Chains A and B, each alone.
Chain A
Amino acid sequence: MARIELNEIAHSYIANPKHESDYALKRIHDEWEDGGAYALLGPSGCGKTTLLNVISGLLTPSKGRVLYDGKDVTDLPPEKRNIAQVFQFPVLYDTMSVYNNLAFPLRNRGIQEDEVKKRVLEVAEILDLAPFINRRAAGLGADAKQKISLGRGLVRSDVAAILFDEPLTVIDPHLKWHLRRKLKEVHDQLKLTLIYVTHDQVEALTFADQVMVMYEGEIVQVGTPQELFENPKHKFVGYFIGSPGMNFLSCTLDGNKARVDGAGIELDDDTAALGVKAEGELELGIRPMYLEVYPKAVDGGIPASVKTVEDQGSFKIVTVHLAGHTLRARLPEGQAVPGNEAWLRFPTRWTKLFADGHLVK
């Protein structure tokens, strides 16, 4: 296992890049601890797969160095880096048994059969593959096949890191639960350095200790799932994480209040003070979960009109109009739902201020 350093990495697929927009990766400078579980989260086209390829060695970056435990591996191909990869679609030999599939990477490296057997059985046990160890891979379900792919990565004791590229995309929702849980258990037991690339926030947040949110070739925030949810440093993080994403309203400052076309929304003192100093266009942000919606007038409530109420089983999404803006609120099952009119309250603790897309600081 290894600590991974990304030193001033930039990459362009164009031969002579001139503008910032020519770069798929703009500037990545980060250090990942040995044994950590990391996720790279972002929409398609954000550069996350490019970055993964730089780490694995499939791609040599235009600029910067990649270090494993302090050793420069920038110019080494993947096979010299001791990494394992799990892809979107299971990569295995359909005609081979589960046992032989798992043994393959070890035999390839000339490891003794008794050692191969010990490792294969150990990994099969962890992944619940032991009951069909002698079956051919061809007859197994999608989740079992993906577990074999994962097992082929785990079976080598010398891997520096295991890289996952959207490994659950083709898996049914109910099996995702099982596999996610398995991955988490594997990480707790084996303390491997795991790097997981996905566009799915639930997968990223539940899997990783640290999530790196990528947007247009940059890492815009690194944090624990809780930090990213409660304290997005960038508008994009607010929008991308959480379902639905954060609500944003253009506003101006008036003392301790944010003015949104006439409506005054109270801010806490620190936020208001930072807002006064900030430059650029101001926007107020609040998560749908924290926006309070009442069916009757309440103290400090701001009147709004209700557009739609969607029942999503365990919660309801209420869409409201406030001074020409659309906002969404997430109400727990069982809470009273407003009719045509609603009163909104913005708890100061969860009401954030952004200047030109960045949280005021």
Chain B
Amino acid sequence: MGLTLQNVDKLVGREIYLKDISLAFERGSRNVILGRTLAGKTSLLRIMAGIDRPTHGKILIDGHDVTGVSVRKRSVAMVYQQFINYPSLNVYKNIASPLKVSGVHKNEIDRRVRETAEMLHIEDLLDRLPAELSGGQQQRIAIARALVKDAQLLLLDEPLVNLDYKLREELRIELQEIFEQREAVVVYTTTEPTEALMLGGNVVLLDEGRILQTGLTHEVYHNPATTKVAEVFSDPPINYLACAIRGQKACLGEVTEFPLTSHLKSLPAAQYLFGVRSNHLSLQRNSAEDTEIHSKVELAEINGSETFIHVQYDNSRLVVQADGVHPHRIGTEISIYVNPSSFFVFDETGVLVSSPARYNLEKRSG
């Protein structure tokens, strides 16, 4: 099936929860809605599910208007942030419940419950009550109950956020494998850029109830349309440097200058904002084109395999993500390096002018 949202608004009192949302999801597609807390992710899922009605606009399934149709009459399954299970039913009955409601034959229920339980590695827990299980196991039951129906629309609202870090990692991998075997439209919300990248597929960037950008997840990551998108889609935070282009030179602040190369060559003289992700700032020179920036260390956070070095340059705070352990003292002056070919260029209003990925694509095709 295909799901379409046309000019959807959701107003609660005088507050705007969602504004002018138009989206189309194809059968079998995997979609991530990425946005910060209160961006409107949950409101959007509830409207897709049919739990809430939009204030304006239409919801279409395979071209048919279903805007007013109750959630009970739709083929939809949803997994919430908080694990929701029936506390008095054992795991087997919890998973079986949606099939029982729709009157599936007992043998068929048994087959599907066991198959789904196996997929989520909870086949040994079928006799237990939810309260006897860990958070990770409880969320697996909730996911199993959503999967067992084989609904045409599968919605997951930050399903891993209340789980341990390691469980998240495992379930993320498993979920991807499960999604691949489904023909349903899968929509998954998250606040985390890494999670969005891992899930791949398509992404919808949502902020304050509005769509910022849509597209293939990896394309959007490499071509953020605005500074806002780049911020929501970067962890560690993206770094910004004010840059003036004068003739064939770029000037970062007063003291750092470099010649214009690659995608920067055709930039007209003006004032810009250059964005660079933390992993593209380095503590050593990696190529002849690298530009050296003299900065002052504000903090070094060591994360076992890598170090996040927070530095200051020209009133900008930057984060360098470097492999290995670099215990720099606070206040030390250090040089950091950046290859100009890794800069995102935004104009003064924050709109993307040029990106390394777009440039490379044009170069290859032309």
A interface list, Cβ under 8 A from B: 43-45, 142, 172-174, 177, 180-181, 184-185, 188, 199-202, 205-206, 224-226, 228-230, 239-245, 287, 289, 310-315, 332-333
Contact = CB atoms under 8 A, between A and B. Distances in A.
Given A184-B299, A199-B164, A228-B304, A314 B279 contact: yes
List of 10 A-B pairs having minimum Cβ-Cβ separation, nearest first: A229-B304, A314-B279, A206-B301, A199-B164, A225-B304, A226-B325, A205-B303, A43-B164, A225-B302, A173-B235
Given A225-B303, A230-B304, A245-B169, 19 more contacts: A43-B164, A44-B164, A142-B37, A181-B298, A181-B310, A199-B164, A205-B302, A206-B303, A225-B302, A225-B304, A226-B304, A239-B166, A242-B304, A244-B169, A245-B166, A310-B200, A313-B221, A314-B277, A315-B279
Interface residues of B, number: 41
A229 B305 contact: yes
Given A184-B299, A228-B304, A314-B321, A43 B167 contact: yes
Contacts of B193: 173, 313
A230 B191 CA distance: 30
Contacts of A242: 304-305
A73 to B, nearest CB: 31
B164 A177 contact: no
B164 to A, nearest CB: 4
Contacts of B136: 44
A310 B194 CA distance: 11
Contacts of B37: 142, 172
Contacts of B74: none
Contact of B304 (A174, A185, A205, A312): A205
A171 to B, nearest CB: 9
Contacts of A312: 194, 197-198
Nearest to B304: A229
Contacts of B191: 172-173
Contact of A226 (B134, B235, B277, B302): B302
A184 B301 contact: yes
Nearest to A227: B304
A287 B305 contact: yes
A44 B36 contact: no
A174 B299 contact: no
Contacts of A173: 191-193, 235
A174 B317 CA distance: 14
Given A312-B194, A312-B198, A188 B330 contact: yes
A241 B303 CA distance: 10
Contacts of A205: 302-304
A286 to B, nearest CB: 13
B135 A311 contact: no
B303 A202 contact: yes
A180 B301 contact: yes
Interface in B148-170: 164-167, 169
B231 interface: yes
Contact of B237 (A45, A174, A206, A332): A174
Contacts of B167: 43
Nearest to B222: A313
Contacts of A224: 302
A239 to B, nearest CB: 7
Contacts of B330: 188
27 contacts: A44-B136, A45-B134, A142-B37, A173-B191, A173-B193, A174-B232, A199-B165, A200-B165, A201-B165, A201-B304, A206-B301, A230-B304, A240-B166, A241-B304, A242-B304, A243-B165, A244-B169, A245-B169, A287-B305, A289-B305, A311-B197, A311-B200, A311-B218, A312-B197, A313-B193, A313-B221, A314-B321
B308 interface: yes
Nearest to A185: B299
A188 B330 CA distance: 9
Residue among A45, A228, A313 with max Cβ neighbours from chain B (10 Å): A313
B319 A177 contact: yes
A44 B301 CA distance: 25
Interface in B184-215: 191-194, 197-198, 200
Contacts of B253: none
Contacts of A184: 299, 301
B87 interface: no
A104 to B, nearest CB: 27
Interface string B317-343: 001010101000010000000000000
